[in-house]
Structure 1
Amino acid sequence: MIYDVYKNPHINRFMPSDYRFIFAADGWECVTLQPLAEIQLSMLNPDDAQKILMNYPNDKTLCSWYMLIMKAL
């Protein structure tokens, strides 16, 4: 089951830094950007946190979703 979830092409694998880049590049003004259900990587199993940091060195947190309010420029 873990392998199937890991290999599933339909699961969103974006990290917080990916979303910040997408939001900044869309041509809208960000009014509110609030991560929800946020967790520090330091709260994870150290081995898991290290694997994430190897691929995403700029991310220190994970989150389940965002509250995002934007307006047209």
Structure 2
Amino acid sequence: MQIKAKTDAFIRARVLKGYSQRELARHTGVSHAYISLLERSIKSVGPSTAKRLSEVLEMEIEELFHIHIA
């Protein structure tokens, strides 16, 4: 399974919450560099991290991420 951020939706959700990449990273326990990679769709994310990010951003996982099951 591969989970990648829907770039526009992810950035929009972060900005609407008023978080910088660093602030989102602090709230979710991941590095700001990782958030940057997610926002550029360079890095995929694990299911538990995707869930944590969606909870902090108060959005459904399906709204923020493409989930590919191979």
Larger helix proportion of the pair: 2
Determine if the TM-score, normalized by the shorter chain, exceeds 0.5. Answer: no
TM-score by length of 2: 0.29
TM-score by length of 1: 0.28
- Greater length-normalized contact order (CA 8 Å, ≥ 6 residues apart): 2
Structure of larger gyration radius: 1
